[in-house]
Structure 1
Amino acid sequence: MELGGILVVYVLIFLLTLLTYVFSRRDKREPLKSAKLPPGSMGWPYIGETLQLFSQDPSVFFATKQKKYGEIFKTHILGCPCAMLASPEAARFVLVTQAHLFKPTYPKSKERLIGPSALFFHQGDYHMRLRKLVQGSLSLDAIRNLVADIEAITATALDTWAGGRVINTFHEMKKISFEVGILSIFGHLEARYTDELKKNYSILDKGYNSFPTNIPGTAYKKALLARKRLSTILGAIICERKEKRLLQKDLLGSLLNSKDEKGEILTDEQIADNIIGVLFAAQDTTASVMTWILKYIHDDPKLLEAVKAEQNAIRESNDGGSQPLTWNQTRNMPITCKVVLESLRMASIISFTYREAVADVEYKGYLIPKGWKVLPLFRNIHHSPEFFVDPQKFDPTRYEVAPKPYTLMPFGSGVHACPGNELAKLEMLIMTHHLVTKFRWEVVGSQSGIQYGPFPVPVNGLPARFWIESSS
């Protein structure tokens, strides 16, 4: 080996040794004398165990760690030391009882795309104010008036699937959830605005999980430019709504009419950030679950027949489908509701959530240092045999008995739980009703496997063919 090559090797060894020393010293802090760091491995300097996590199914990575170290363990991913929590008690501790000690945390690159004023980037008074507004516009009383419109959106979309051509089920479900998101935010929005929002949001969505670089032509740079255009479009919609002085009760109306205790209104930028945030939260997650519902009932013919029988009875009571679904009917779908719950558990679209310790915290004798990321592992809890018998089996009958508290958290928990959970479930029920009463379908290609992008969906978005069910 030449001298230059030898020097390079020694420099790399020195840097690696230095990094190892820095990270090991950081882990040896003991500000709470009685507490120790959780067990676990921190992996390589800086990169930690990121490669191990993303080179396999994340569920396998976390489950292996939990089996080895227990319900709380440490690791180091994406440049951050992390404490992983895999029990209902720990999730409740972080998300509910001691939520003030753990703030939501997101990469700045993602904040730029959604908008820094979106409610899920905040804590305190601003967060509570925005959460009340969003929750109010998505409450049961508010969404009961959306049943007919959601049904129309769903029926129109599903009708385009018929004919036996292969479609990407997940991508088609995303179109439905986007339209429902627009409906819940704006009510009936002009097509020209909807089309522009859809086009630019699609670009933003593609760049959201890409490498954050400002180099022209990259997915992230394109997403940043689309975000600017979205601000312009939303600004025009907000201006038009203000000029007409409409008092609509949709989300935009709630945001426009809100005043704090000092009488101050939200800025147009704050409103735009929160609209983008709601669209982001509503689309991929709901579409993922609806795709899984379709797959789960497809894979179990007896269950499919039971769901069909329940939904066909409702259809017949509506003059063979000539009358629209009612709110009360969506509240009386016991078999289908259990299918939705089990799909939420099995799929666990939100596998975990990120928090950051704002102070040194002690939990069950372990130290979680200030600045560490803290991840309650929902999927581990949802798939634990301690809480769900035979957890890898899709079994809606398990909900004939309510699950124990904090063992089923598909929408999170605490002050940052998803405020649109009832809208999402309503959308799933309406979609299932129209799917099983009007169509038959077959999955094309591989019928097993999961891909993460970042939410878990069936491989290749579940390609499938659909046909109108014969009435004879």
Structure 2
Amino acid sequence: MLNFFSHTTYLIHLSSFTIHLQLHKPEPTHTKPLDMELSTMLCLFASFLFILLFKSLIKSFLYPPKGRDLPLPPGTTGWPFIGETFQMYSQDPNVFFATKIKRYGSMFKSHILGYPCVMISNPEAAKFVLNKAQLFKPTFPASKERMLGKQAIFFHQGAYHANLRRLVLRTFMPEAIKDILSDIESIAQSCLKSWEGKLITTFLEMKTFTFNVALLSIFGKDEILCGEDLKRCYYTLERGYNSMPINLPGTLFHKAMKARKELAEIFAQIISTRRNMKQDHNDLLGSFMSEKAGLTDEQIADNIIGVIFAARDTTATVLTWIVKYLGENPSVLEAVTLRPFMTNKSNWYLKNLLVGTLQEEQESILRGKGESGEEMGLNWSDTKNMPVTSRVIQETLRIASILSFTFREAVEDVEFQGYLIPKGWKILPLFRNIHHSPDNFKEPEKFDPSRFEVAPKPNTFMPFGNGTHACPGNELAKLEILVLLHHLTTKYRWSVTGAKNGIQYGPFALPQNGLPITLFPKK
């Protein structure tokens, strides 16, 4: 759920590029009519493309946009149509960005994923773009809107978006999510139990955990009634998400669209049942169904699919990186897990040595319950007494930078810092480069949670985005991470199998092969 709107923007565009890379060698054919038909189609396409280009040139010549006398930001745009997409993805994309920044500065032009764009790594400039919704709008490929639903929150701005954001915030605010803490804990314990003694792919198993939490937060107890069918349909939808958008029988896209229709039917059944029962519910669906929300069933379905899609992979990715970093930094893990009750003197020593470790912190909570005779389950105050663990989450968000960048589109010509950002161009705030700049963080490549004992400089840490599209679900995401880490670090140990230092790049950067580990219960 971490920054699920901004992350979804990132995922949607990156997955579109994945489609372009999935090229298949055509089957050989020896039939002349087919060759002639193909040649005719290619000629028609070329003619159509020429007309579009000619029309665009005439329009720009006759009606030069305001501000065209201003220079574009420095940089290069690469080959026609292709741009610099392949240069960017033939290596670590962050190396591409860093090279450009070193050469052109914190604001430069490029051409990726089929669009001319301006990339920015200045914190103040990033804030400007993310907060000026009237100048810069989120943008998405049409096929993704079809699959997720055109009424989903991250495809909109204005009053409709504001209403949806208010409904989501109402469900995911601390006062609301504390009521499902025990249910989240049960899900975490069940997942961990099922991983005992097995070689697991951390990312895949974390996706199962975050998916179950997402269903709980959306449907409450009702998700038990339709969970398996809902999961089956959603998994089919997810498999087709990165496929070519060809809606023909047998294709992944067609299967995904069919599964989406089934999902809408499942949601309609749940909505109908709730209306007949005439009971209030405190989950997200209940918020969407309230009379004040004013949403149609179609709008409700689109937004449920969107929230599930956005909530699942991002939080699972963060958890995967946390497991990796804790395994590589045993002193930090020890701090989070053990943290005993101490005298003032020992507290001073610990603060100056390491400022507490994750393991110390979590064991302290566990021991405190045993001494007081409380039930062993976590309560809300426990989750607010995990400062070291919270700093581990913050540092993971910074150094892993799950959201490397996000997309906006200029809705008009914009003058900024003496440069022109033309209407229709994409703007990419480069969060990872902001998070990894030595101007913003000392020794930025070092995993050091203690750096967050002091608040970072303004606008230099934006894991949840900024502005009207900032993540409204970050409190829920943080809660589920804290709960799972509590039980993982106090009851289990793990070892990584295979490559330990590789990174694979897809929509999100992940440890190699999703971080295979073997999980063992502590003796």
TM over 0.5: yes
Q: 2:478 aligns with which of 425, 429, 453?
A: 425
| Contact kept in structure 2, 1:93 and 1:99, CA below 8 Å | no
1:337-391: CA deviations, max 9, x gaps? 1000001111111111111110000110110101111111111111111101111
Q: What is the match of residue 37 of structure 1? A: 72
Find the aligned partners of 2:436 and 2:291 in 1 and give their Cα distance: 41
Q: Does residue 343 in structure 1 map to residue 396 in structure 2?
A: yes
Distance in structure 1 (CA, Å) of the matches to 2:57 and 2:419? 17
**Structure 1 residues 24, 441: CA separation in 2 closer, same or farther (over 3 Å shift)?**
farther
Deviation, 1:318, is: 2.3
Partner in structure 2 of residue 7 of structure 1: none
* Partner amino acid, structure 1, of 2:303: N
Q: 1 CA distance for matches of 2:236 and 2:392?
A: 33
Normalization by structure 2: what TM-score? 0.83
Aligned counterpart in structure 2 of residue 108 of structure 1, from 142, 153, 166 = 142
Deviations 1:251-279 (A, max 9, x none): 1111100426xxxx211000001111111
Q: Equivalences for 1:189-204 in 2 at 5 Å?
A: 189-204=222-237
Q: Residue 254 in 1 paired to residue 275 in 2?
A: no
How far, CA to CA, are the matches of 2:382 and 2:522 in structure 1?
Answer: 22
How far off its partner does 1:146 sit?
1.6
Deviation, 1:456, is 1.5
Residues 225/295 of structure 1: CA separation in 2 closer, same or farther (3 Å cut)? same
Provide the rounded CA distance (Å) in 2 between the counterparts of 1:212 and 1:206.
12
C-alpha displacement of 1:30: 6.1
Q: After superposition, what is the alpha-carbon deviation per residue over 1:193-242, rounded to whole angstroms, capped at 9, x for unaligned? A: 11111111111112222332223333222221111111111111111111
SS in 2 for 1:214: coil
Change (3 A) 1:37 1:160: same
Question: Unpaired segments of 5 or more residues in structure 2?
Answer: 1-42, 339-360
Is residue 319 of structure 1 aligned with residue 348 of structure 2? no
Determine if contact 2:85/2:111 at 8 Å carries over to the other structure: yes
What runs of 5+ residues in structure 1 fail to find an aligned partner? 1-10
How far apart in 2 are the matches of 1:465 and 1:129? Answer: 45
Please say if 1:145 is aligned against 2:174. no
Measure, in 2, the Cα distance between the counterparts of 1:418 and 1:453: 21
Checking the alignment, whether the CA contact within 8 Å between 2:192 and 2:488 is kept in structure 1 is yes
Which is worse superposed, 35-44 or 191-200?
191-200
- Assess, with a 3 A threshold, how the Cα gap between structure 1 residues 60 and 26 changes in structure 2: closer, same or farther: farther
Distance 2:270 2:408 in 1: 34
User: 2:305 and 2:133 mapped to 1: Cα distance?
Assistant: 25
- Residue identity matched to 1:433: H
Q: SS of 1:465's equivalent?
A: strand
Counterpart Cα distance in 2 of 1:59 and 1:34: 32
Match of 2:110 in 1: 75
Q: What is the distance in 1 between the residues matched to 2:404 and 2:473?
A: 18
CA contact (8 A) 2:117 2:426 kept: yes
In structure 1, C-alpha distance between the alignment counterparts of 2:136 and 2:375, rounded to whole Å:
51
Q: Is the 8 Å Cα contact of residues 209 and 454 (structure 1) preserved in structure 2?
A: no
CA contact (8 A) 1:318 1:325 kept: no
* C-alpha separation in 2, matches of 1:211 and 1:407: 37
Map 1:129-208 to 2 at 5 A: 129-163=163-197, 165-208=198-241
State yes or no: 1:231 paired with 2:225: no
In structure 2, the residue matched to 1:86 is: 121
Once the two structures are TM-superposed, the CA of residue 58 in structure 1 deviates from its matched residue by 1.4
Q: Please say if residues 66 and 73 of structure 1, whose CA atoms lie closer than 8 Å, have aligned partners that are also in contact.
A: yes
Note the C-alpha offset of 1:246: 1.4
Amino acid at match of 2:420: L
Letter paired with 2:286? G
User: What is the letter of the counterpart of residue 390 of structure 2?
Assistant: C
SS of alignment partner, residue 83 of structure 1? strand
Deviation at 1:61, TM superposition (A): 1.3
Moved more, 353-362 or 200-209: 200-209
Q: Does 1:122 align with 2:156?
A: yes
Residues in 2 aligned to 1:206 and 1:405: alpha-carbon distance in whole angstroms = 39
> In 2, Cα distance between the equivalents of 1:190 and 1:30?
52
TM-score with structure 1 setting the length: 0.91
Structure with bigger RCO (C-alpha 8 Å, 6+ apart) = 2
Give the equivalent residue in structure 2 for 1:61.
96
Q: What secondary structure does 2:221 align onto?
A: coil
How does 1:367-386 map onto structure 2 within 5 Å?
A: 367-386=420-439
Q: Take 1:92 and 1:301, find their aligned partners in 2: how far apart are those partners?
A: 36
Q: Is 2:429 the partner of 1:396?
A: no
Distance 2:100 2:494 in 1: 39
Q: State the partner residue of 1:290.
A: 319
- Helix, strand or coil for the counterpart of 1:82? strand
SS at match of 2:282: coil
Residues 67 and 258 of structure 1: CA distance in aligned 2, closer, same or farther (over 3 Å):
farther
Mapped contact 1:166–1:463 kept (Cα < 8 A)? yes
From the superposition, tell whether residues 243 and 64 of structure 1 become closer, same or farther in structure 2 (CA, over 3 Å).
Answer: same
Deviations 1:295-316 (A, max 9, x none): 1001011111111111011111
Q: Is the 8 A contact 2:68 2:420 kept in 1?
A: no
What amino acid is aligned across from residue 282 of structure 2 in structure 1? Answer: K
Q: Residue in 2 aligned with 1:359?
A: 412
Q: Distance in 1 between matches of 2:177 and 2:60?
A: 49
- Shift in Å, 1:31: 2.8
Match of 1:281 among 286, 291, 310: 310
Q: Post-superposition shift, 1:40? A: 1.0
Paired with 1:146 and 1:190, the residues of 2 have a C-alpha distance of 14
Does the residue aligned with 1:135 lie in a helix, a strand or coil?
Answer: helix
Q: Determine if contact 1:34/1:365 at 8 Å carries over to the other structure.
A: no
Percent identical residues: 55
Q: Secondary structure at the match of 2:217?
A: helix
What SS does the aligned partner of 2:257 have? helix
Q: Given residue 204 of structure 2, which amino acid in structure 1 is its aligned partner?
A: H
Per the TM alignment, residue 439 of structure 1 is displaced from its structure 2 partner at its CA by: 0.3
Secondary structure of the equivalent of 1:99?
Answer: coil
Distance apart, 1:322 and its partner CA: 5.1
Summarize the Cα distance change of 1:258–1:102 in structure 2 as closer, same or farther, 3 Å threshold. farther
Which residue of structure 1 aligns with residue 251 of structure 2? 218
Out of 95, 110, 116, the position equivalent to 2:130 is 95
Give 1:192 deviation, angstroms. Answer: 4.1
Number of residue equivalences = 451
Listed as ranges, the matches of 1:13-52 within 5 Å are 31-33=66-68, 35-52=70-87
Helix, strand or coil at the partner of 2:222: coil
Change (3 A) 1:282 1:30: same
Question: CA–CA distance in 2 between the matches of 1:230 and 1:126?
Answer: 23
